[in-house]
Structure 1
Amino acid sequence: MDAEFNGTYITLGGYVGVDKYGYLYFVILLALYLLILCTNLTIIYVICIHRNLHEPMYIFIAALSVNSILMSATIYPKLFIDVLSQRQIISHSACMFQYFIFYSIGISDILLLSAMAYDRYVSICKPLQYSIIMGRITVAILLTVAWLIPVLQVAVAIVVNSKQKLCDFTTDGFFCNNKIFRLYCVQSTFLKIYPMFILLNVVIVPTIFIIFTYINIFLVAYHSCPEVRKKATETCLPHLIILMCCFFLCIFDVISARMQSNLPNGVNLIMSLQIVVYGPLFNPIIYGVKMKEISKHIKRLLCHFWTKSK
Structure 2
Amino acid sequence: MSSFNLTSSSPVTFILNGIPGLEATHIWISIPFSTFYIIGMFGNFMVLFVVKKEQTLHKPMFLLLCMLALTDIGMSTCIVPKALCIFWFGFKGITLDGCLTQMFFLYVFVAMQSAVLVTMAFDRYVAICDPLRYTTILTNTRIATLGLVGLIRAVLFVLPLTLLQWRLPFCANRVILHMYCEYIAVVKMSCGNTIVNRTYVLVITVVNILLDLLIIGLTYGLIIRSVLRISSKKAHRKALNTCTAHICVMLMFYTPFLFSTVTNRYDQGSIARVHVVLSNLYFLVPPTVNPIIYGVKTKELRDKVRKYICRM
User: Does TM-score exceed 0.5, indicating one fold?
Assistant: yes
| Residue aligning to 2:100 | 96
Letter of the 1:247 partner, please give it. Y
Alignment match of 1:176 (pick from 178, 181, 188): 181
Alignment match of 1:139 (pick from 143, 149, 152): 143
Q: In structure 2, what is the Cα distance between the partners aligned to 1:197 and 1:269?
A: 23
| Residue aligning to 2:284 | 277
| Residue aligning to 1:73 | 77
Q: In structure 1, what is the Cα distance between the partners aligned to 2:275 and 2:126?
A: 40
| Residue aligning to 2:310 | 303
Letter of the 1:115 partner, please give it. T
CA RMSD of aligned residues (A): 2.3
Distance 1:196 1:48, change over 3 A: same
The answer on whether the counterparts of 1:181 and 1:187 sit within 8 Å (CA) in structure 2 is: no
| Residue aligning to 2:219 | 213
The answer on whether the counterparts of 1:234 and 1:292 sit within 8 Å (CA) in structure 2 is: no
Q: In structure 1, what is the Cα distance between the partners aligned to 2:88 and 2:248?
A: 35
Distance 1:5 1:303, change over 3 A: farther
Q: In structure 1, what is the Cα distance between the partners aligned to 2:213 and 2:82?
A: 32
Listed one character per residue, the Cα deviations across residues 93-144 of structure 1 (whole Å, up to 9, x for unaligned) are 1111111111110111111000000111111111222222112332122110
Summarize the alignment of residues 85-124 of structure 1 with structure 2, pairs less than 5 Å apart.
85-86=89-90, 88-124=92-128
Shift of 1:282: 1.5
Q: In structure 2, what is the Cα distance between the partners aligned to 1:47 and 1:265?
A: 41
Listed one character per residue, the Cα deviations across residues 177-205 of structure 1 (whole Å, up to 9, x for unaligned) are 12212111233432122111111111111
Asked if residue 158 in structure 1 is aligned to residue 159 in structure 2, the reply is no
Q: In structure 2, what is the Cα distance between the partners aligned to 1:174 and 1:59?
A: 32
Q: After the TM superposition, which of the residue ranges 86-95 and 138-147 deviates more from structure 2?
A: 86-95
The answer on whether the counterparts of 1:18 and 1:83 sit within 8 Å (CA) in structure 2 is: no
Size of the alignment, in residue pairs? 305
| Residue aligning to 1:223 | 229
Give the helix-richer structure, 1 or 2. Answer: 1
Distance 1:229 1:202, change over 3 A: same
Gaps of 5+ in 1: 306-310
Distance 1:226 1:195, change over 3 A: same
Asked if residue 241 in structure 1 is aligned to residue 245 in structure 2, the reply is no
Shift of 1:228: 4.3
Letter of the 2:305 partner, please give it. I
The TM-score normalised by the length of structure 1 is: 0.89
Gaps of 5+ in 2: none
Identical amino acids, percent of aligned pairs: 23
| Residue aligning to 2:87 | 83
Asked if residue 195 in structure 1 is aligned to residue 208 in structure 2, the reply is no
The TM-score normalised by the length of structure 2 is: 0.89
Letter of the 1:174 partner, please give it. M
Distance 1:128 1:86, change over 3 A: closer
Alignment match of 2:46 (pick from 39, 42, 50): 42
Q: In structure 1, what is the Cα distance between the partners aligned to 2:189 and 2:107?
A: 18
Alignment match of 1:254 (pick from 253, 258, 261): 261
Letter of the 1:232 partner, please give it. A
The answer on whether the counterparts of 1:108 and 1:147 sit within 8 Å (CA) in structure 2 is: yes
Q: In structure 2, what is the Cα distance between the partners aligned to 1:142 and 1:67?
A: 15
The answer on whether the counterparts of 1:117 and 1:210 sit within 8 Å (CA) in structure 2 is: yes
Letter of the 1:76 partner, please give it. V
Q: After the TM superposition, which of the residue ranges 83-92 and 125-134 deviates more from structure 2?
A: 83-92
Shift of 1:72: 2.1
Distance 1:189 1:132, change over 3 A: same
